[in-house]
Amino acid sequence: MANRVRISIGSEASELALVDGVVERFGLARGLQPTDSERLQEVVHKLAAWIIERAYPDDPTGELVVQLELAEGAVRCTIEDWGEPIAAFGGGLDRMPPELAEIEAITHDLRLVNLGREGKRLSAAVEAKGVVPEELVAFAQFARETADSDATADQVEIHNTEIGEVEAVSRLLYTNYGLGYGHPDFYRPRWVEAEIESGRLHSTVAVLAGEVVGHHALLLEKSGEAGETGVAVVHPAYRGLGIFNRLFEHTIERARAEQVEAVYARAVTAHPYSQRAEHSRGYRESALMLGSVPKGRDSGGTPTPRAASLLTFLPLDLSTRRVSFPERYAEPLRAAYANLELETVEPDCPRALEELGEHPSATIERDAQRGSSLITVSRWDQQGRAQMIDAVRSAVHHHDDVAYCDLDLETLSSDELDEAVQQLREFDFFYCGLALCAAASHDHLRLQALMSDDVELEAIVLDSDYAKQLRETVFADRAPASPV
């Protein structure tokens, strides 16, 4: 059974009875608690009525499409229409209509996106505790039957992933995310096996009655660099048993054993839940990477554009950072370090250059799976300038959707950073944020350039005050030629 339902209605108030009926049956079919179901019915009815009144005044010939979709601990309601224009609101915009204040108080992420000639999209998430898709309920019932009893925390075993469990990890991701997870390689069991055997992937699983019901990982690209934590998933039927906390603690223990100075994660911006989870474990935001999540498909198979992710760090080494700041980005970089609770002092550039060894002045790493490139500039000499420009041209030549460029804050002086920033802005790069412990464990200023129009820039949900301010900084700094 699909976890999404859509109904198209006319723009007359009498049509709302059809919507009411669908919402009521949806709640029953998906097992919503009575109070959650009643709240959902109230929200959908009032939002649809508001759209009819505002977008189709005295016009019975219009059309609305109302969609309900199960999300993580919530039901998302989306209403599309093609009526009279309405100014966008929500998502950081201070234009919330006063008549929707009551609805805003009982929902999350209430917003309206104006798509021009493509119409408008009004959406909100209604909390529904414990709601999970029907096929997940069936899976949970099977797992619990095999255990001969209801699951308890002490029945769940946490251990390093064994090769024979890799395919189950891929299936668990598919069960929770479809094929839309931001790390597409994890749908390829052979790739996961090879990464575990190489030591680049430290994968941890939670196992109950022989079934993999949770996963968390530490990904190490190169020795001495920050490690990415993530690929975190707990089967919805087994949340509330403290599984994620145990998985996370196990991963951090492995990171410390590898002498990793910092770990990072990329939180999705489609909802605030993963951001809140990371914040509760000490991660702090430092960069907003537009378009970093590849195009995908939602649970109904509809194509989705590239989406943003929020780069967050958990420093394991709290040593003072030796860095320079470019004039243009000195203020946001200092704010980023303050958010990470790290102090900074002037760098020792000659020593930092020695630490690079024979590392090239500038490099580019292309990620074909993600359709993106990461350019790193470590020396601002004649070779570095030329290599950086060649790298930008390479990203364009390969039709990357998005490119990021890292400037080493420990090897480059403030004057060199100023010159590099000016050059990159001529190629439409703009502020992204701060990346800790990158090449040679140096901190980097990260800039970004969008090379595709198919990037979601409106529906970016950010939870913390710092993240919201970061979004303002990023969008304010976008190249003048790019529409905001």
**Pairing relation of β-strands 262-268 and 307-315?**
antiparallel
pLDDT (average), residues 8-36: 91
Q: What's this model's pTM, rounded to 2 decimal places?
A: 0.66
State the pLDDT confidence band at 297, using cuts at 50, 70 and 90: low
Q: Which domains does the chain have, with CATH numbers?
A: 4-127 (3.30.565.10), 134-313 (3.40.630.30), 320-476 (no CATH)
State the pLDDT confidence band at 117, using cuts at 50, 70 and 90: confident
Query: What confidence score (pLDDT) does residue 3 get?
Result: 72
Q: Using an 8 Å Cβ cutoff, are 138 and 74 in contact? A: no
Answer with the residue of higher pLDDT: 171 or 64: 64
Q: Using an 8 Å Cβ cutoff, are 342 and 321 in contact? A: yes
CA distance 241 to 243: 5
What is the DSSP track for 269-318?
SSSSHHHHHHHHTT-EEEEEEEEEEPPEE-TTS-EE-BEEEEEEEEES--
Highest mean pLDDT among 42-56, 125-139, 255-269, 366-380: 42-56
High-pLDDT (> 70) share of the chain, %: 89
246 pLDDT exceeds 70? yes
Q: What is the pLDDT of residues 422-433, one digit of tens each?
A: 999 999 999 999
Query: What confidence score (pLDDT) does residue 136 get?
Result: 39
CB atoms within 10 A of CB 188: 14
Closest CA to 406 of 444, 433, 370, 373: 444
Mean pLDDT of the chain: 86
Q: What is the CA radius of gyration of the chain?
A: 24
What is the DSSP track for 442-464?
--EEEEEEE--S-B--S-----S
Q: What is the pLDDT of residues 249-258, one digit of tens each?
A: 999 999 999 8
Q: What is the pLDDT of residues 58-95, one digit of tens each?
A: 899 999 999 998 876 788 899 999 998 888 888 656 67
